[in-house]
Amino acid sequence: MNSLAFLTLLGSLFSTTVAVVFDLSELEWNLVNQNGSISVPGAVPSQVHLDLLRAGVITEPLLGINDFTERWVFQDNWTYTADLTPLLTGGEIQSTDQLLLVFHGIDTVANITVANKPIAWVNNQFRQYVYDVSFLNAITSGNLTVALESAYYYGLNVSMRPDAETILGDTFEVPADRAYIRKIASDFGWDWGPGFVPSGIFRPAYLVSLSNSTTNATSSSPTNDTSQLVFVEETSVDIYKVGQNFSVPPNETADWVVNVTLALRTAGTFSSPSISVSVAELNITSPQFSLDELSATSDSDSPTWVTVLWQIPDSIPQRWYPHNLGTPKLYNLTIALNLTADSGSDVELTVRTGFRTIKLAQLPYSQEDIDARGITPGDQWHFEINGKAFYSLGTNIIPFDPFYARTTTDQVRWVLESAVSSGQNMLRIWGGGIYQPDSEETGGYDFYSLCDELGILAWSEFIFSDTLYPINDFFLESIEPEVRQNVRRVNRHPSNVQWAGGNEIEGIVTGVNTSMANGTIYLNEFVTLFQDFLHDIAVSETHSVPYTDCSTTKGVLSLDPYILRFNNGTRGNIYGNSERYNYDASQAFNYSTFPVSRFVNEFGFHSMPSFYSWEEVLTSPDDFSFNSTVVASRDHHPPAGSLAFPNPNAPQGQAQMTQGVELWLPTPSTSDSNQTFAQWCWSTQIFQSMTMMSQIAWYRRGAGQGENNLGALVWQLNDIWQGVSWSSIEYSGRWKVLQYGMTTTFSPLTIYPFWTPDNQTLEVLVTSDRWETVDGTAQLTWYDWNGNMLNTSTRDFAIPTLNNSLIFSASGLDSILPSGKKATDVWMLLNVTAQVDNKTVTNEQYFTPVSLADVTLVDPRIKVDATQDLIFTLSALGGVAPWTWIDHPAGTVGMFVDDTTGIPSNGFYLVPGIDRTLKFVLNEKLSTNASPDPADFVLRSLWNNTHTE
C-alpha cells in the first residue's frame, strides 16, 4: 500500500493484537455538515472543531469570545467519510477470513455505515466498539461513514420523550440534559471552562485482519504466519493478595495472585490452547495453564474470555510505592498464548505493572483507637498502601483540553511531573471528565502508565457528576460495558487507588430526599445505580482496589453487604470525607469555617491566569483589563445556567477575587494599565495560594487531632483553557503561585503559623507525613519591613508517625510581638530543618499579624544577576519584598528551582542580606521559545502593585 500504515502491534494493551492492523488515521477523510454547505478534509482521531480550524473555516476556538460565536458548530450534525477502496484493492486484506473494525472512542452519538451497510448506532463516548466487517472481502469499493448527531439536540430530544424522567441536577451552560448523554459532562460547560460540546472520532481507530490458517495468512514474514490468527480485544491484569476482595482487606504476608483475563477473537478454531505468564526481571514463570477450545468468533459473537490465576510468594517481587513513600517499582509481565499443544509462544503480550496492596479504610474506629489515640468516634476514611496508612497529598484532575483529540502525552507528562515536583502523591480523576487513557495507540495519549512510572496514585471515578441519572434498561445497558471495559483496562496499573461511582452526587440526593415531597424516589434511584449497580460491576471486575459510591460521601454502614450510611450517623461522630468552598474572602483564614474531617477531597478558590496566558487569547488592547467584557466573559463562576452570554453571574466571581486581593494585599494600581492588569492577575494567584496553603496546613494538622485527617486534595491541578479557574497550573503548563505554594505545604516536613485574630492566639506547628519519628529544629525570627532582624529563637522537636509538634503557643499581641513594635511594622520568618529519609529537609513559612494590605512596605530595590544558562540571583538592596516572583517569558514552559536544593521555588519573601539563587528549568518539548533571553524574564513583588519602578 502507498498511503496506509501497515502495522503489526505486538504488546499494545488496549485491544492487544498480533493480527495485521491498519491505522485508519492514514485514510483520506472528508467532513461535511448536514446540508452539505461545508465540506473539508477530516482526520482520525480528531473532532469537528479541530478539522474546521485546520481548514480555516473557524479560528482557534479558545480565542476571544469564540466559545460564544462558534456555538453553531455543536448545533449542526456532521459526517466523517473515508474511501476504503485503497484497502480493498491493495491486496493486503484480500483472502483474509475476518475483518474487525475497532473504534477506541466516538464522541458521541453516531450511525456507522460501511459500504452502505448499516453497522451500528452508538451513543456512548466512553466505550470501545468492535464490529465484524468481514463482508468487505467480497467487494472492491465502498466508504466508511460515521454520521454524528448533535449531542445538544440529542439530549433535548431524549429528555422530551413522554416516558422521560425529570432529572434534577446542575446546568452549567449548555442546557442539553446531559444526564441522558454518555459524554464528558464538562463539554457542556462548567464553572471553570467553556461549553463547546465537541463531536468526532476522538480516539484512534483501526481495521484488524485475521486469518484462520497459515495457508492464507497475509504476513510478509513466512515464519510468523500464526501472528494473523488472534485479536486480543481486552486485557485485564489484576494483582492482589490471596483472599482479598472489596470487603476483605489484604493479608500482607499472603501470596500474590496475578489474575490475567483476555478477550480473544479468532478466525479459526484451536482445540488445545494454553497460557503461561512470566516476569523476566524476577526470573519466574508460571505453569502452563490449559484453556478450553477456542472457536472462531463471528459477527454476532462476543469475544471468548479466558482467565488464569497465578500465585507468587509475597517475598519475591519488590513492592510499588508512591514516590514520596518508597520506589514505584515496575515489572514487565509477559503473557504467552500458545494456540496448539505443540506450538511455541504464538502470541506474546507484555504488560508493565507492579505489586502493591491498596485499602480504603471505611469501618468504625476501635474503642482502643478512641481511648489510646484520642480519636473522635466514628468511621475511618483514609487509604493504606502495602498495609500502612499514609497522608494523601494532592489535587484534582480535569480534562486537559476542551478538545480531547489534541492532547499529547508530552503535555500530560509535564502536568504529572509538576505534581510530583510539588510533593503530591495522589491525583483525583474527576468524574465529570473522561476515563483517562493508558496508551497513545488506544487513547491518543498516556496517563495511567505515567502515574505508574512517576509514583503518583490515581483516584479513579466513573463518569457521573453533579446531577441525578435516569434509571432504565436502555441507560443501564449502555453503561455496563462502559464500566467493565474501563475497570478491566485500568486494573494493571498499580497507581490506581480506587473506583468512585461519581462526583458530588450523594450530597445532591440526600438534600433532595429531605427537601422534596417525592425525594425518596431519587434516593432510591441513587441507591440502585451507585450502591448496587456500579458497585456490583466494579467488585466483579477487580479484587485489588476498593469501590466507594461517590467522591464526597458519608461512608458506609456495611461493606458486605454494601450499604451506604447517608445521614444515619451519631451526633458528634465523624463519618466519610468532605469538601470545602467558601468564597467570602473575609473568612479565608477563619479556621472555624474549615471542615473537621477524616479526608478533604475538594477545596479551592479561583484565580486569574497570568498576563502571558491572556496574551494567547485576547485580541484587542482594550481587553487587557480585570473587568473587561472579554475577560469577564471567561469567568464562568457562578455558571450562567443557560446559553446566556456573557455569563450574567460573572460579576460575582470577579468580585470574590477582587475582595480577596483588596482585603489581604496592596490593591494593584499604577500608571501603566498593562502592569496594573498583570499585577491584578498575579495578586489573585497570591491570594489563592495563601488561602489554599492555610487549608492544607489545617488539614495536615488534623492528622494529630481527633479527626485523624489523612487526606487533602486541592481543587484543581490543571486548566482546560485560558480563563478564570481554580487551577494551580495554567493551560500552557505555566505554574501559578499556588503550584509553588503547594511545594512548601506538601513537603514531608512543614511549619505553619496558626493565627486566630479573635482571641489573638498564635500556635506554630511542625507537621510530618513520615512513618518514622522525625527530629529537627525550628527557628522563629522577627523582622521589620526594612529587613532588620529584631530577635530569633530556636525550638527542638520530635514528631511521631503522621503527626505534628506544637513548638510555640502564645496569646495576646503584647506577648507575641517584639517589644515596642506595632503589628503593622513586623513579620516573622519561620524555618525548620530535619533529616528525613537520609536527606536534609528544610521548610519556610511567613507570619504577618495583620493583612499585607495594612503594612507599610519599603522599596526592596531588587537586584537581579542573570546568566545565559538562566540562573538568577536575587538580592534585596532596600526593604523586604514579600512574594518576590519571577515570570518566564511567553512561549516558554518550565519551572524555577532553588539552585542548591533543586526544589521548586518562587513566590517568597526576599530579605536584605539573604540572597536567593534560582535556576529556570526549561521544558524543551513544550516550549515554542527554546532559547529564552534572561532579559525577557520579569521580576515582580507586592511593591509593584502600586509602583512601576
Distance (Å, whole) CA 677 – CA 380: 46
- The per-residue DSSP string of 539-584 comes to HHH-SSS-EES-SS---EEEETTEEE-TT---TT-B-S-EEE----
From the list 233, 504, 506, 541, the catalytic residue is 504
What is the number of alpha carbons within 13 Å of residue 225 lying toward its C-beta?
Answer: 10
- The per-residue DSSP string of 891-913 comes to T--EEEEETTT--B--SEEEBTT
Q: Among positive and negative, which fits the CA dihedral 939, 941, 945, 949? A: negative
Q: Is residue 440 annotated as part of the catalytic site, yes or no?
A: no
Q: Do 940 and 682 touch, CB atoms closer than 8 A?
A: yes
Q: How far is CA 469 from CA 164, 292, 464, in A?
A: 11, 40, 8
Q: Among positive and negative, which fits the CA dihedral 461, 464, 468, 472? A: negative
**Number of Cβ atoms within 10 Å of the Cβ of 547:** 22
**Number of Cβ atoms within 10 Å of the Cβ of 567:** 9
| Prior bond of 546 cis (ω within 30°) | no
> Which residues neighbour 101 within 8 Å (Cβ) at sequence distance 6 or greater?
112, 114, 119, 130, 131, 132, 133, 144, 205, 206, 207, 208
- The per-residue DSSP string of 788-838 comes to -EEEEEEEEEEE-TTEEEEEEEEESHHHHSPTT--GGGEEEEEEEEEEETT
| 8-state DSSP, 890 | T
Find residue 146's DSSP bridge partners: 80, 112
Q: Do 859 and 853 touch, CB atoms closer than 8 A?
A: no
3-state helix, strand, coil in the chain (%, to 5): 25, 30, 45
Q: Based on the number of CB atoms within 10 Å of its own CB, is 138 exposed (0-12), middle (13-18) or buried (19 or more)?
A: exposed
Q: What residue ranges in 84-137 does DSSP mark as E strands?
A: 98-103, 109-114, 117-122, 129-132
Q: Do 739 and 758 touch, CB atoms closer than 8 A?
A: no
- The per-residue DSSP string of 238-265 comes to EEEETT--SSS---TTSPEEEEEEEEEE
Angle between helical axes of 505-515 and 519-526 (0-180°, round to 10): 150
Q: Do 252 and 313 touch, CB atoms closer than 8 A?
A: no
Measured between its terminal Cα atoms, the distance across the chain in Å is 65
Nearest Cα neighbor of 727 from 690, 699, 685 is: 685
Q: What residue ranges in 123-185 does DSSP mark as E strands?
A: 129-132, 143-149
Q: Do 108 and 124 touch, CB atoms closer than 8 A?
A: yes
Distance (Å, whole) CA 653 – CA 651: 6
> Which residues neighbour 43 within 8 Å (Cβ) at sequence distance 6 or greater?
25, 29, 50, 51, 54
Can you tell me whether residue 206 is helix, strand or coil?
strand
Q: How far is CA 768 from CA 376, 423, 801, in A?
A: 21, 13, 7
Distance (Å, whole) CA 88 – CA 22: 12
Alpha carbon 81 to chain centroid distance? 33
**Residue 672, all three cell numbers:** 501603566
Q: How far is CA 45 from CA 146, 206, 404, in A?
A: 12, 11, 10
Distance (Å, whole) CA 31 – CA 41: 6
The residues assigned a catalytic role are: 504
